Amino acid sequence: MALIDPVLLKPRLGHLAGRFDVDALDECDSTSSELMRRADRGAPAGTVIVADRQSAGRGRRGRTWLSSPEASLTFSLLWRFPGPASRLSGLSLAVGLGLAQALEGLGVAGVRLKWPNDVLIQSADGVAKLAGILIELASDRRGTQAIIGIGLNLAAPSGDFPLPVTGINRACSSPPDRHAVLAAILGNLAGILEKFTVEGFFCLKSEWQCFHAWQGQMVQILADGAAPQIGRCLGVDDDGALLLESASGIERIHSGDVSLRPAGAANA
């Protein structure tokens, strides 16, 4: 039996239980790939696939996503929006905000967001990644479907990672059980996604910036095939673009990996 039991989840979702159809699997290739196949067969919005193990978990920018059954919560949520994908700018930030608010509500300390959609924990030891989000869109004449994949560390994973990683167990005095975590995230996302559908990212911008890890700090942007850009991070624009101030003015950044400016890097 899978570690998530949909029967135990239902009461925790309360009045929102009817909005979600949760299937818990022992294993699949990737919860996002499995959900995509079900979406192609007509699965409704609100379908959730959660799996203990993924044999081919996917991360952003073509990376692999590794997780372990006991220490991770890995799931994907199907949502549908009216209109084309171009109307969904800022969606990944909105999802990050939903995740951050849910975690904070569960008592997780030091939750921060890294543009575009990593969830970090800030502590005396510095910042470390707690969760990653991968959103995949597909549009047709009826609108746009989003497969929202979330990988969250319940316990800090061991092993070598390019950046420090952490888990809820290190940021919470009494860590909640996985059913409480999943229910809180789904409940929060339902509200955020509804707001986003009606008003766009604009109405969530200031809340996102309250969680922003590097607001006002010097950062470096690395994007495929481009020289690193360094500047002061002014936050995000109404559509979710990152605002980077450098000697040449304020630039809107649409993609790339952002990190704090390394010591010794040239000023902008």
Nearest approach, Cβ of 268 to ligand BTN (angstroms)?
27
> Is the Cβ of residue 34 or residue 237 nearer to ligand BTN in the bound state?
34
Task: Name which of 55 and 174 has its Cβ closer to ligand BTN.
Answer: 55
Q: Count Cβ atoms within 10 A of the Cβ of residue 198 and give its class: 0-12 exposed, 13-18 middle, 19 or more buried.
A: exposed
Q: Which residues contact 154 (CB under 8 A, 6 or more apart)?
A: 70, 71, 72, 73, 167, 168, 169, 175, 178, 181
From CA 114, how far away is CA 99, in angstroms rounded? 12
- In the bound complex, what is the minimum distance in angstroms from residue 175's beta carbon to ligand BTN? 19
CB of 57 vs ligand BTN, minimal distance in Å: 4
CB of 79 to ligand BTN, least distance (A): 14
Q: Which residue from 162, 259, 251, 266 is spatially nearest to 220, judged by alpha carbons?
A: 259
> In whole angstroms, what is the distance from residue 78 CA to residue 95 CA?
12
Closer to ligand BTN by CB, 121 or 218: give it.
Answer: 121
CA distance 268 to 231: 5
- Calpha distance 128→139 (Å, rounded): 34
Query: Smaller CB distance to ligand BTN: residue 52 or 237?
Result: 52
> Cα separation of 64 and 60, whole Å?
8
Minimum distance between the CB of residue 65 and ligand BTN, rounded to whole angstroms?
4
Which distant-in-sequence residues (6+ apart) come within 8 Å of 40 by Cβ? none
Q: How far is the CB of 39 from ligand BTN (least distance, A)?
A: 14
Q: Which residue is nearest to ligand BTN (CB)?
A: 132
Which chain residues interact with ligand BTN by CB under 6 A?
30-32, 54, 57-60, 63, 65, 74-76, 118, 132-134, 149-151
Q: Residue 74 or 144: which CB sits closer to ligand BTN?
A: 74
Decide whether 222 or 265 has the Cβ nearer to ligand BTN: 222
Our CB check for ligand BTN shows the closer of 111 and 218 to be: 111
Answer whether the bond into residue 69 is a cis peptide, omega within 30°: no
**Cα-based torsion angle of the residue sequence 256, 187, 8, 1 in order, rounded to the nearest 10 degrees:** -20
What is the nearest approach in angstroms of ligand BTN to the Cβ of residue 198? 26
